């Protein structure tokens, strides 16, 4: 079953990501590719879990911060991470700061990804990091942030480990962070 994912679905969605980076695909085509991968994984994942099959590079906990219901970018990142052999726990959109902290504590991911599309909600990324520090969890997880108003400078300012400008960059960042 892994061969279907690795030699089929993953190859296809990575190719779509590359075409998007090169300007050959537009966002709707990338989103369609991501949705196709997500639908295929929804069918295969129960069987994989039942067989105990995993070749995961690491566990990523991801969500859109409190007050923000936008999740297209986060969903693209989730799909690209899945296509690159990450175990992804998607908390959805409008995730409270306390939920991020509780889930980091309970699920022990190697990476926490937070998305924000609105400038009014991006401060929530910094608040989650502050709470991780307060609860003694910050050193246990790498934190990446993304979303339209975020930048590398913003990531540095709030104490994140990195910034993903888009889904492809987020996967490359996850790979680098876990190599270190």
The mean of the pLDDT values for the chain is 88
In tens, the pLDDT along 98-107 reads 999 999 999 9
> Structurally, what CATH architecture does the domain formed by 55-179 represent?
3-Layer(aba) Sandwich (3.40)
Give the span between the Cα atoms of 100 and 125, in whole angstroms.
10
Give the span between the Cα atoms of 166 and 66, in whole angstroms.
20
Which residues, at least 6 apart from 23, have a Cβ–Cβ distance to it below 8 Å? none
Inform me whether the pLDDT recorded for 1 exceeds 60.
Answer: no
CA contacts within 13 A on the Cβ side of 99:
16
Q: What is the pTM of this model?
A: 0.78
CB 98 within 8 A of CB 134: no
Beta bridge partners of 89: 61
């Amino acid at each position: 079953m892994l061969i279907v994912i690795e030699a089929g679905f993953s190859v296809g969605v990575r190719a779509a990501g590359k075409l998007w980076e090169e300007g050959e695909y537009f966002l709707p085509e990338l989103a369609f590719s991501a949705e196709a991968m997500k639908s295929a994984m929804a069918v295969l994942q129960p069987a994989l879990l039942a067989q105990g099959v995993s070749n995961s590079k690491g566990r990523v906990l991801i969500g859109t911060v409190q007050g923000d219901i936008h999740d297209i970018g986060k969903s693209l990142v989730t799909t690209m991470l899945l296509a690159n052999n990450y175990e992804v726990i998607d908390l959805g959109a409008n995730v409270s700061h306390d939920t991020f902290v509780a889930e980091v504590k309970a699920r022990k991911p190697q990476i926490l990804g937070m998305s924000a599309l609105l400038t009014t909600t991006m401060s929530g990324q910094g608040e989650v990091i502050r709470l991780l520090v307060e609860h003694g969890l910050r050193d246990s997880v790498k934190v990446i942030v993304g979303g339209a108003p975020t930048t590398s400078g913003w990531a540095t300012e709030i104490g994140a480990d990195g910034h993903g400008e888009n889904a492809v960059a987020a996967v490359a960042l996850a790979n680098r962070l876990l190599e270190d």
